[in-house]
Chain A
Amino acid sequence: MRIDAFHVTALAIALLGAAVTIFDLIPVNKFYFFAGYVVLQYVVLATAWNIMGGYMGYVNFGTAGFFAVGAYTSVVLYNLMKAPLILMIPVSGAVCALLGLGMGYLTLRLRGVFFAIATLAMAIVLETLIVNWDYVGGATGAYILRSREIAPFGDYVEFLFFVMLVLAIFAVTVARWIERSKMGRGFAAIRDDEVAAECTGVPTLRLKLVATTVSGFLMGVAGAPFVLYVGFVEPSSAFNLVYAVNSIAMPMIGGATTWLGPLIGALLLGTVQQVATVTISSELNLLIVGGLLVFFVIAAPEGIVGLVRKWRGRGR
């Protein structure tokens, strides 16, 4: 892996995040950390979705299922041994990676729409299991008491913001690396024509398993801190369809074939939603997401990245 401007920028953003959250270099209203956390969480989810959906063309409607499994793994760890967040994140990721691997084997028999429907089915089956599992609170939900402050960050929300920032940078770096590696070209071959790819020697099954596992892992780590962020988790909030819609809409709006697409889509749409939730209403912001998704898939299939490319190409 070569080090280039991207990695320098990523490191600079991480350091800036550390500077703001640890040393309080710039006085920032706490609400911005609270809202920023959600936006960064969508960066991770959208990027994770895009590894399968955008690069490989396998639509996953079950993002909410992975996210919730990540969150509930944290609940289990907390109930078992009051595990710290630093342990919750890798374990949640690992559990969801296994789940992703299982989903990858589904692709052996299911392609296209059938795969998409199966992922949705999986999310609902998982939700039913959680609803009926009393150890993690069942349908009524589970509380987690978090400390108000944590050294050296001070406020706990600032700490969570920083953690999510690091996870987002990690996710985008992984996605970018995959896209530019030989693996990424294999993914693109599967997206364009799976049979032809198989015939020309692309190891399609192995690549699909890698994609679903990595994608599942990233969705799991995004869900792990969720319980600490909200303090209370119940099935209907963790399995909320909003996660699935957003993680599809964001890459589609940004542009699904590059790592930049989900990043732009999540930052843009996530911020718009946060602003709309505060200023207008939370229902209306969901309507905006649905409307934008439909508009973009009809009018700009390549998303914002595609629009910019087209515009640049015309200028030349």
Chain B
Amino acid sequence: MFTVDLLLSALVAGVLLGGFYAAVSLGLTVAFGQLNIVNIAHPAFVILGSYVAYMCNSRWGLDPILVGLAFTPVFFLIGVGAYRIYYESFERRDDEALRGLAFFFGVMFIIEVGLIMVYGVDFRTVQAPYIGQNFKIGAVGVPTRMLVPFCVSLVMFACVYLYMSRTFNGRAIMAVAQDRLALQLMAADPVRIKQLGFGIGIGTTALAGALLIIIIPIEPSIGRLYIGQVFAIAVLAGLGSIPGTLVAALVLGIAESLVATFFGPSWAPAVAFGILLLALAFRPQGLFGR
């Protein structure tokens, strides 16, 4: 059944969902788009962030977003460590294509199975005052459990964007995959810069994970569903473009919301992968690529 109200609600829900997707895929845009590291385990790190938020929330009643912020430095260090292993084992041997991919695939699997062993396959949620409230603008309902993550996500986005475009290190991260030699001539060590960039990429997953568990209940294996979303957004954005990521995330969020509203939620998972396949087939350089 088609009504204007339904369409408006779907659009609003889509924009809110898209804002959240932007937070989830931001780290991948940095790692995959700018550093050329195919971190297929990215969604698994997001789920790990969700479980950290869940653990602190259920044990001490802490706010999930604060937990996400507090754990961002921890995840940053995990990312730095992961990049060291990746660099020493694959990149330095010039062997990243096949084995690097298999490496991250294995990491993803270890995180997922590890979480299943500790927490089981039950769905988990968090408690916070802003979850479960609703307010209306006209006939369109806006759930705060979507609005709060949307706002947090935009703030995080703005911070990373400013860092990347205004600081020396940020610009160096954007440059490192394009021209290592030029970067070395600017007195920056490419390996340290990539380490920093990958750390930032993983660091964002702590907060993104906290946002995820606010929006929906999670269990360990839903991470792999998000592989489609994050890679679709990263490719559609034009690899490495941070503003492009935001636009692509909104496009995907709206498309998914419309499909879920008018065709039924069971078709929604195919939207991301469908967009990804179409983008790869017809416009691999993305919306904002050169």
Task: Give chain A's interface residues, CB within 8 Å of chain B.
Answer: 53, 57, 59, 61, 106, 109-110, 112-114, 116-118, 120-122, 124-125, 127-129, 131-132, 139, 241, 245, 248-249, 252, 256, 283-284, 286-287, 289-291, 293-294, 297-298, 301
Contact = CB atoms under 8 A, between A and B. Distances in A.
Given A117-B227, A287-B117, A289-B109, 13 more contacts: A106-B281, A109-B281, A113-B38, A113-B101, A118-B276, A121-B232, A132-B267, A245-B109, A252-B102, A290-B110, A291-B106, A297-B99, A301-B99
A197 to B, nearest CB: 16
Nearest to B231: A117
B155 interface: no
B247 interface: no
Given A118-B277, A124-B228, A293 B266 contact: no
A304 to B, nearest CB: 15
Interface string B15-34: 00000000000000000000
Given A124-B225, A128-B270, A249 B106 contact: yes
B267 A120 contact: no
B89 A297 contact: yes
A286 B102 CA distance: 15
Interface of B: 38, 40, 85, 89-90, 93, 95, 97-99, 101-103, 105-107, 109-110, 113-114, 116-117, 221, 224-225, 227-228, 231-232, 235, 266-267, 269-270, 273-274, 276-277, 280-281, 284
A61 B232 CA distance: 16
Contact of A128 (B90, B101, B266): B266
Contact of A120 (B93, B116, B227, B284): B227
Contacts of A289: 109
Contact of B101 (A116, A122, A129): A116
A118 B266 contact: no
A59 B101 contact: yes
A124 B273 contact: yes
Given A113-B38, A121-B277, A287-B117, A294 B101 contact: no
Contact of A297 (B103, B114, B269, B276): B103
A294 B40 CA distance: 14
A67 B38 CA distance: 25
B284 A121 contact: no
Given A290-B109, A293-B109, A124 B116 contact: no
Contacts of A241: 109, 221, 224
A23 to B, nearest CB: 42
17 contacts: A106-B280, A106-B281, A109-B280, A117-B235, A118-B277, A120-B227, A121-B273, A124-B269, A125-B277, A139-B266, A283-B113, A286-B109, A289-B109, A294-B107, A297-B103, A297-B106, A301-B99
A118 B110 CA distance: 23
Contacts of B117: 283-284, 287
A31 B252 CA distance: 48
Contacts of B85: 298
B48 to A, nearest CB: 14
A118 B280 contact: yes
Given A245-B109, A287-B113, A297-B106, A53 B98 contact: yes
A241 B110 CA distance: 13
Nearest to A116: B101
